Structure 1
Amino acid sequence: METQSPLAGPYALGTFSHSGGPAFPGLISGDLVLDLRTVPALGGPELTTRTLLESWDSALPRLDEAAAGDRRDWLPLASLRVHAPVEPRQIFQSGANYRTHVIDLAVAHEPEGGRPAEQVRAEVAAMMDRRAAEDQPYVFLGLPSSITGPYDDVVIPSWCAKPDWELELAAVIGRPAYRVGPDQALAHVAAYTIANDVTAREVVFRRDMPEIGTDWLRAKNAPTFTPLGPYLVPAAFAGDPGDLQVTLRLNGQVMQDESTKDMIFGVARLVSYVSQTVRLLPGDLVLTGSPAGNGMHWGRLLRPGDVMEGSITGLGVQRNRCVAEPAAGEA
């Protein structure tokens, strides 16, 4: 069992299993976990974190009571496997949402012999200013099948030549949201968690059809490309989502270390924007983009054997080892 970094608030929620048994929703406090299926008021043996989110307003006070109650029947965290904390129906991913990150990527993608780096930086910075003023986030869809647990291996497909990390703050929807304004949007966010939006950089842009633009299906949705968790920290405990530190270490070396203050569009504006088109459902994820410090910036992409450690203030830490996809016929 991995060691933990401090969590904001008295408790968080997760999905756990032990001794090869079925996964169950749990309330974690310190180094103990309460199996929430044993709390009659919450729903019984079919309970999941997503069904908790579907009745979030009524569930939250019961979770408060459970956290403050007797702990004789709680389980030691060290004896449990930690899974991705929720199974979303929909994942919405914000692209180009950190000012410094966008500028760095533009410089990295500039063809050899192209525009000078300083010219690229100036042009992209001006574009970021225009985007912020016009309030038009860039959001695309992710697939739930790409999600893996916070301590599971990330499998690099045999076809992927340039795998890269992108640590992100993820907002978890509680109350359904449809056409809500930015001033209402945060009331629909139940919790926050950590996501690593691993990307195959070489297939982001379609070389066979450049006019078609980006290919997010191919670039971001391989199995295990979205490590999620470890836990859902209720929004009431998480603090200001616009002032959290996002840090990723690769084999112990800090690669990303940026505040969410560098976001162009904050959580409220992103949730509101998505809700103008789509009905957000309990358990859905809104990923808020990744800060500067990706592998493209450093000229160092992921390789089998690498270990990524991602943390966000108050939300814990995830650790994922990169492994090569087994060759055909291998176990």
Structure 2
Amino acid sequence: MKTFALGTFSTAQDPSRKFAGVVVDHKVANLGDLAKEYGFAGLIDKTVLSLLDDWPRSLEDLQQLVHQASAHDWTDERELRFHSPVDLPRQVFCTGANYRKHVVDLTVDSKVGPEGLNDDELRAWAEDMMDKRVAHGEPYVFTKPVSAISGAYDDLVLPPTTRKPDWELELAVVIGQEAYNVSEADAMNYVAGYTIVNDISARDLIPRTDYKMLGTDWLRSKGQPGFLPIGPYLVPRCFIENPYELSMKLTVSGAVMQDETTADMLFNIEKQIAYITRYARLLPGDIICTGSPAGNGTHYNRFLEAGDVMEGTITGLGHQRQKCVV
């Protein structure tokens, strides 16, 4: 079976006209044109979202189409503009505090814990808390507005509302069929594929200081325009052998900030889907951001500034690049 990915693209000549594209070895074919040429009527005039609305049939047709289409005139992806591969999903869910070392580091950095502990003691306390959380706790999930979504190579416009814009490279799950009250055992059957996200966060806007009992404010801290670059591709699940053995790496202006694997995830994808669908209905094309590893700006006390360039990679899913501008 030939490996391929999906994306949403436009050309420099017609930037407002987006089209679903099939990607093979960094070459892109307009899905509609390809489907017409090889007689796949069911794939003509499809967006990536509409493919996901009928994903089992779409995947079968796409596999056959790609197998037959080697003689097609493909376009180098560098000649195209990338949009979010699912343009746009209906819902975005984010699982917070879901990487062990990340949460332990934040605990030590923020000095959150019993009084009188030194850093080593606080770290040991936090690690024990993570063990208990995995054994007895549940994922922590919130939503993010789709208006925050941008393409994988779009500039990040730093808003004047924050002094501490931060990065969070994450593996994202793309849902392939409606899901409600799904068991962990069945959860992966609802996954169409994977992509990369960067859950940009305004660290200084997370806590509500006007009324502390309100706790966190995810709208203002994570929902601003451009705060969720997605892509470049949607890679079907069948091409990612093990989502828990993927290398994740993010640099900021050449300096390595995050360098971890998905093995450090506290609650796996199955548990996240089961938890979300206990309370909400997942729809085809929905995105689940599965958490970010250690190495955020909070840990380094170093936040994004104009001129910074972020580059993020996850094994098998490509890479992102955003330049920070004002």
What TM-score does the superposition give when structure 1 sets the normalisation length? 0.91
Q: Contact 1:242/1:267 (CA < 8 Å) preserved in 2?
A: no
**Equivalent position of 2:5 in the other structure:** 12
**Equivalent position of 1:56 in the other structure:** 55
2:38 matches 1:36: no
Paired residues for 1:186-197 under 5 Å: 186-197=188-199
Within the candidate set 15, 26, 39, 2:21 is matched to 26
CA-to-partner distance for each residue in 1:187-222, whole Å, 9 max, x for gaps? 100000000001100111111211111111111011
Distance across 1 between alignment mates of 2:291 and 2:298? 16
Task: Quickly say closer, same or farther: Cα 1:114–1:217, change in 2 above 3 A.
Answer: farther
Within the candidate set 278, 281, 290, 1:279 is matched to 281
Unaligned runs of 5+ in 1: 1-7, 325-331
Deviates more, 1:228-237 or 1:251-260: 251-260
Q: Contact 1:131/1:137 (CA < 8 Å) preserved in 2?
A: no
Distance across 2 between alignment mates of 1:31 and 1:118? 46
Q: Contact 2:8/2:48 (CA < 8 Å) preserved in 1?
A: yes
CA-to-partner distance for each residue in 1:244-296, whole Å, 9 max, x for gaps? 11110111221101111111001111111101111100000111100001111
Root-mean-square deviation (CA, aligned residues, Å) is 1.7
* Alpha-carbon offset, residue 9 of structure 1: 6.4
Unaligned runs of 5+ in 2: none
Q: Contact 1:245/1:312 (CA < 8 Å) preserved in 2?
A: yes
**Equivalent position of 1:173 in the other structure:** 175
**Equivalent position of 1:91 in the other structure:** 92
CA-to-partner distance for each residue in 1:111-130, whole Å, 9 max, x for gaps? 8x985322332222222111
Q: What secondary structure, in the 3-state scheme, does the structure 2 residue paired with 1:276 have?
A: helix
Q: What secondary structure, in the 3-state scheme, does the structure 2 residue paired with 1:89 have?
A: coil
Distance across 2 between alignment mates of 1:42 and 1:75? 23
Whichever residue aligns with residue 275 of structure 1, its letter is: T
> How many correspondences in the alignment?
315
Q: What secondary structure, in the 3-state scheme, does the structure 2 residue paired with 1:208 have?
A: coil
Distance across 2 between alignment mates of 1:217 and 1:121? 30
Distance across 2 between alignment mates of 1:318 and 1:114? 42
Within the candidate set 220, 223, 227, 1:221 is matched to 223
**Equivalent position of 2:251 in the other structure:** 249
Q: What secondary structure, in the 3-state scheme, does the structure 2 residue paired with 1:255 have?
A: strand
Task: Quickly say closer, same or farther: Cα 1:207–1:9, change in 2 above 3 A.
Answer: farther
**Equivalent position of 1:4 in the other structure:** none
**Equivalent position of 2:241 in the other structure:** 239
Q: What secondary structure, in the 3-state scheme, does the structure 1 residue paired with 2:22 have?
A: strand
**Equivalent position of 2:131 in the other structure:** 129
Task: Quickly say closer, same or farther: Cα 1:110–1:48, change in 2 above 3 A.
Answer: same
Whichever residue aligns with residue 287 of structure 1, its letter is: C
Q: Contact 2:43/2:58 (CA < 8 Å) preserved in 1?
A: no
**Equivalent position of 1:100 in the other structure:** 101
Q: Percent identity?
A: 47
Q: Contact 1:36/1:42 (CA < 8 Å) preserved in 2?
A: no
Distance across 1 between alignment mates of 2:66 and 2:107? 47
Deviates more, 1:267-276 or 1:67-76: 67-76
Whichever residue aligns with residue 22 of structure 2, its letter is: L
Distance across 1 between alignment mates of 2:133 and 2:42? 43
Q: Contact 1:165/1:197 (CA < 8 Å) preserved in 2?
A: yes
2:60 matches 1:76: no
Distance across 2 between alignment mates of 1:155 and 1:205? 22
CA-to-partner distance for each residue in 1:120-177, whole Å, 9 max, x for gaps? 3222222211110114110011111001000001111112100110000000000111
Distance across 2 between alignment mates of 1:181 and 1:164? 34
What TM-score does the superposition give when structure 2 sets the normalisation length? 0.93
**Equivalent position of 1:5 in the other structure:** none
Whichever residue aligns with residue 57 of structure 1, its letter is: P
